[in-house]
Amino acid sequence: MRILKTTLLAMMLCAATAMGERADAPHQSERDRMVRDQIGERAPWGRTKVRDKAVLDAMRRAPRHEFVPGVSISAAYSDRPLPIGHGQTISQPYIVAYMTEMLKPKKDQVVLEIGAGSGYQAAILAEIVKEVYTIEIVPGLGEQAAKRLERLKYTNVTVKVGDGYHGWKEHGPYDAIIVTAATSHIPPPLIEQLKPGGRMAIPVGPPFQVQQLLLVEKRDDGSVVQRSEMPVRFVPLTRGKE
């Protein structure tokens, strides 16, 4: 009986702490509102709601304000992309959530991202999957993203500076690949590094205009099918010197 009482008390204390932490987490209410009003149940008319619970939970957890420059912290949870320096942007929260859902991420998976930028998309994936590898072509951004992710204890993300066009063969093949910069075509090395049954989200189209967000699926027999999900606008995928 005594043991039972202690256990009950411990359970109650645990619950209280968990709830307390959640309510006290910086910007938690802004994140909850962002998910509800921009992405989930109350997403604006015309937007396909994101329903994957793991994705919504990840968006509620990851501290987006840590991934934007100091001057933009007050806008971190607003419904738009924001500048992150070097002419690059962190995507709008809805696009991050939508693209993550497209990949159907699962906790035992390994995912490759091209275009680390601030590291935010990688953090969202890292909340769900086992391992994330991400490549950034601008050294300043890549180094900053790596430091930030380390400080925030995203220990399952590895950042590399380089040209992501070639993928990252060493850690592949991948369950999913996400490209967060616009390309004129799907880089063949990325298709090669996708597992059979794997999924890729990639914006394809002309630079500085509207692109199509494509879902590319590699079937178990190795054949590739693609379909267009929605029009998007991404900064261009630039190419390193060969």
Question: What is the set of active-site residues?
Answer: 91
SS3 69: coil
Q: Where are the alpha helices (DSSP H) in the chain?
A: 2-24, 28-34, 53-61, 93-102, 120-128, 139-151, 188-192
Residues 80-109 that bind ligand SAH (CB under 6 A): 88-91
Q: Which is nearer to ligand SAH, 180 or 193 (CB)?
A: 180
Q: How far is the CB of 113 from ligand SAH (least distance, A)?
A: 7
Residue 216 near ligand SAH by CB under 6 A:
no
Per CB under 6 A, 125 contacts ligand SAH? no
CB of 22 to ligand SAH, least distance (A): 24
Closer to ligand SAH by CB, 139 or 197: give it: 139
CA separation for the pair 138, 2 (Å, rounded) = 61
Cα dihedral 157, 82, 179, 99, rounded to 10, equals: 90
Span from 17-25, 149-157, 167-175, 231-239 in contact with ligand SAH (CB under 6 A): 231-239
Strands 211-218 and 194-204: antiparallel
* Contact of 87 with 45, CB cutoff 8 Å: no
Taking the least distance from each CB to ligand SAH, the nearer of 117 and 172 is 117
How far apart are the C-alpha atoms of 191 and 49, rounded to whole Å?
Answer: 28
Token pair for residue 87? 């002419």
Q: CA-to-CA distance for 122 and 68, rounded, in angstroms?
A: 14
Distance of alpha carbon 162 from its chain centroid, rounded?
19
**Considering the complex, what minimum distance in angstroms separates the CB of residue 167 from ligand SAH?**
10
Toward ligand SAH, which CB reaches closer, 20 or 231? Answer: 231
Binding flags for ligand SAH, 162-191, as an x/- string (CB under 6 A): -xxx--------------xx----------
Classify 118 as helix, strand or coil: coil
Q: CA-CA distance, 17 to 32, in Å (whole number)?
A: 19
Q: Least CB distance from residue 203 to ligand SAH, whole Å?
A: 10
Residue 138 as a binder of ligand SAH (CB under 6 A): the answer is yes
Among 76, 114, 149, 194, binds ligand SAH (CB under 6 A): 114
Helix, strand, coil: what percent of the chain each, to 5? Answer: 40, 25, 35
Distance from C-alpha of 43 to C-alpha of 86, rounded to nearest angstrom: 31
Piece of the chain touching ligand SAH by CB under 6 A; list 28-36, 114-122, 152-160, 196-204: 114-122
Which parts of this chain interact with ligand SAH (CB under 6 A)?
A: 88-91, 114-115, 117-118, 120-121, 135-138, 141, 163-165, 180-181, 235, 237-239
